[in-house]
């Protein structure tokens, strides 16, 4: 239960605290706070410059990586072509054809006819 005698009614006029009317511009509290403000502005500026520099380096490296990726794809395609040539040169068909054409070799059960007439 609340005792009504102990409660007091306050009006808005009694709660107001009168502030002195000072029309002068506010000065920084001290030179130290001004120095801290300048320090933080410089730090933020330097940080911003470093971030911008890092973004430029990132973009440059991204272009280099894209170029290397394209070059890798071209080299891989060329490597595949060379592997196909190696597979062909190692095939029995190619080796037999070279033996017949260059070395004039024949199989033991074959008969060779040569045209001795001059063209």
Kindly state the helix (H) or strand (E) to which residue 96 belongs, with its residue range. helix 92-103
State how far Cα 89 lies from the chain centre.
42
Cα-only R_g, the chain: 47
pLDDT at 46 over 90: yes
* Interval 11-36: pLDDT, tens: 555 555 565 565 555 654 688 888 99
Q: What is the dihedral of CA 81, 83, 85, 89, to 10 degrees?
A: 180
Return d(Cα 34, Cα 28) in angstroms, integer: 7
Cβ–Cβ < 8 Å for 105, 99: yes
């Amino acid at each position: 239960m609340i005792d009504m005698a102990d409660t007091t009614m306050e009006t808005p006029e009694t709660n107001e605290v009168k502030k002195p009317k000072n029309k002068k511009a506010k000065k920084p509290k001290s030179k130290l706070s001004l120095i801290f403000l300048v320090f933080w502005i410089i730090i933020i500026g330097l940080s911003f410059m470093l971030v911008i520099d890092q973004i430029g380096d990132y973009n440059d490296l991204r272009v280099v990586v894209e170029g290397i990726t394209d070059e890798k794809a071209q080299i891989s395609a060329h490597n595949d072509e060379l592997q196909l040539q190696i597979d062909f040169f190692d095939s029995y068909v190619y080796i037999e054809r070279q033996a017949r054409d260059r070395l004039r070799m024949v199989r033991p059960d074959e008969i060779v006819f040569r045209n001795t007439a001059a063209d």
